[in-house]
Amino acid sequence: MVSRTIPVDAFDLVIFGGTGDLARRKILPSLYRRYLAGQIPEESRIIGAARSELSEEAFRDMTRDALMEFLPAAKRDDTTVEAFLRHIRYVRVDATGQEGWDELRGVIRPGMVHAFYFSVAPSLFGNIAERLLAHSIADADSRIVVEKPFGHDLASAKALNAVLAEHFNEQQIYRIDHYLGKETVQNLMAIRFANILFEPLWKTEYIDHVQITVAETVGVNGRGAYYDTSGAMRDMVQNHLMQLLCLIAMEPPYHFDPDAVRDEKLKVIRALEPVRPEDIVRGQYLEGGGKPGYIEDSENPNSRTESFIALKVGIANWRWKGTPFYLRTGKRLRARTSEIAIFFRRPPHSIFDNAVDGQQNVLVIRLQPNEGINMKVMIKEPGPGGMRLVQVPLDMSFAQALGDEGTDIPDAYERLIMDVIRGNQTLFMRGDEVEAAWAWADPIIEGWEQRGDRPQGYHPGGAGPDDALMLLHRDGRRWREVKE
């Protein structure tokens, strides 16, 4: 199958925090891969900006090292790397001072798409936004990209939105949730809205419940102090899992257009029911397998921060009333996996005497690893001996179905950065969406803080605390196994 890479306009992309971890691990390697795919026009430039005293050559060396470290060997060859590095510039800029800004203005060329990636702590967003305008570096056509965490609660998210809104309008602001850049997540929209097959069944009459799982095997490794101020609810549920839930639950937008899509997602968030305390299970991983527990990792012996959370969430609208969405995410679990599983209801009456109880159609959308879609259907077990039913997967691995294009799926950051250059905000969160998600999450967090709830310990390498299993058992349901 022929790869179709749609060219973008030539750009100047400034990465504030160009020397930081995110730039090295994700942004620069993603840009390189787009360059390799022929998508980056020759006149484009990528400009690192940070406080470190670095020559342009030293920043290129740093970029080369990052590509060596974070790209598989098959994805880099020396000639292309050196050609890519010719697009790299560096300007020393202090976000909190006046140094470097005039120089930065001198590097930005008119007639290009101008994008400014704020890959720095959110406390610097206001300083950078203000200086970009004060020094006439950005204008009404410029785009800015901001990273998670977008606020810590509703009040701080509103404050951040207000700071950005002082200098840029909403059409210029690209709030990244990299889950939205994943191929399968977009496929969720294609499955729902490009096929007639599923949409008539996509409602409480036919869908029993939905499970969204994002499981990690790692702990808080070195990020303990930061993570301890956040926890799984803030770090994962309020943003990533919420976005997935929205894409499953939203009404069809009138068009695949940024505001049409985001309007529909916002309606879902606003229709979320308050979560009852008995529908929340929070956990903290214990020591095990030769690795320290959460308490040691966070260096906070009294920590009440959750490294695992499971929730039962209801949506109060005609489509979903009566269909629970079970969300769970956690660290130090058995496998690294992200998936959405849509459990359909059982047929109202079985004509087969020996139908296997408990089996139902399940549509599984795998985000990682092995992005793909799997539909479990009942068929007759082959061979003589009567009508015995068996559940089999109708498996569509992207790799199998699409050949090279299926195995060579671009990283979410590649797609999102190119969307910024194209000026397409569909896969970015709008300010009101982020605020609505915090407005839902805040009372849940405040509830357990007021009650002084402690997370339950869970053993590493499993599926989280036992109570998380009970959350579904209680309703006569079962989580899918956490496995790759």
- Kindly list the catalytic residues: 240
Q: Which stretch binds ligand NAP (CB under 6 A): 46-54, 79-87, 241-249, 411-419?
A: 46-54
What are the angstrom distances between the C-alpha of 174 and each of 100, 134, 374, 440, 467? 24, 21, 32, 22, 38
69 binds ligand NAP (CB under 6 A): no
CA 112 from chain centre, in angstroms, equals: 29
**Size of residue set near ligand NAP by CB under 6 A:** 24
Closer Cβ to ligand NAP, 147 or 228, answer by number: 147
**What torsion, rounded to 10 degrees, do the Cα atoms 307, 213, 482, 475 define?**
100
- Contact (CB, 8 A) for 136 and 105: yes
Stretch that binds ligand NAP, among 36-44, 141-149, 236-244, 454-462 (CB under 6 A): 141-149
Please state, in angstroms and rounded to a whole number, the distance separating the CA atoms of residues 78 and 306. 44
Residue 21 in contact with ligand NAP, rule: CB under 6 A: yes
At closest approach, how far in Å is the CB of 100 from ligand NAP?
8
**Which window, 55-63, 93-101, 195-203, 299-307, contacts ligand NAP (CB under 6 A)?**
93-101
Closest approach, Cβ 413 to ligand NAP, in A, equals 10
Specify whether the CB–CB gap between 153 and 449 falls below 8 A: no
22 near ligand NAP, rule: CB under 6 A:
yes
Residue 408 found at the interface with ligand NAP (CB under 6 A): no
Closest CA to 365 of 198, 205, 176, 239: 198
Which residues in 3-24 are b (16+ Cβ under 10 Å) and which e? Answer: eeeeebebbbbbbbbbbbebbb
> Scanning the structure block, which residue is given the tokens 């990020």?
223
What the block records as the tokens of 157 is 């998210």
Spatial CA neighbour of 346 closest among 338, 332, 358, 331: 358
Q: Which is nearer to ligand NAP, 40 or 50 (CB)?
A: 50
Beta strand extents in 85-139 (DSSP E only): 88-92, 113-118
Q: How far is the CB of 159 from ligand NAP (least distance, A)?
A: 15
The answer to whether residue 50 forms part of the interface with ligand NAP (CB under 6 A) is yes
Alpha helices (H) in 271-316, listed in sequence order: 294-298
Sheet holding 362-368, edge to edge: 389-397, 372-380, 362-368, 337-344, 207-215, 325-330, 308-313, 280-285, 456-458
Nearest Cα residue to 22 out of 384, 411, 316, 443: 411
Given the rule CB under 6 A, which of 114-122, 290-298, 345-353, 390-398 is the region that contacts ligand NAP?
114-122
With respect to ligand NAP, which residue has the nearer C-beta, 149 or 462?
149
DSSP code string of 378-395: EEEPSSSSS--EEEEEEE
The strand pair at 325-330 and 207-215 is best described as parallel
CA–CA gap between residue 408 and residue 350 (Å, rounded)? 43
According to CB under 6 A, which one of 39, 63, 119, 329 is a site residue for ligand NAP?
A: 119
In the bound complex, what is the minimum distance in angstroms from residue 125's beta carbon to ligand NAP? 9
Three-state DSSP state, 29: helix
Q: Is residue 122 at the binding interface for ligand NAP, with CB under 6 A as the rule?
A: yes
- Near ligand NAP by CB under 6 A: residue from 28, 46, 66, 93: 93
**Residue 94 binds ligand NAP, judged by CB under 6 A:** yes
Q: Return the residue nearest ligand NAP (CB atom).
A: 20
30 binds ligand NAP (CB under 6 A): no
Q: Does 56 bind ligand NAP (CB under 6 A)?
A: no
147 binds ligand NAP (CB under 6 A): yes
Q: Does 96 bind ligand NAP (CB under 6 A)?
A: yes
Is 163 an interacting residue with respect to ligand NAP (CB under 6 A)? no
Q: Does 27 bind ligand NAP (CB under 6 A)?
A: no
- Please identify which residue in 20, 288, 406, 423 interacts with ligand NAP, judged by CB under 6 A: 20
Among 58, 68, 83, 121, binds ligand NAP (CB under 6 A): 121
Binding residue (CB under 6 A) for ligand NAP from 52, 221, 229, 350: 52
Please identify, using beta-carbon distances, which residue of 87 and 175 lies nearer to ligand NAP: 175
Using rule CB under 6 A, residue 19 touches ligand NAP: yes
3-state secondary structure (DSSP) of residue 10: coil
Report the nearest approach of ligand NAP to the CB of residue 77 (Å).
26
- CA angle 83/87/91 to nearest 5° reads 140
Residue number with CB closer to ligand NAP (111 or 222): 222
Write out the residues near ligand NAP by the rule CB under 6 A. 16-23, 25, 50-52, 93-96, 119-122, 124, 147-149
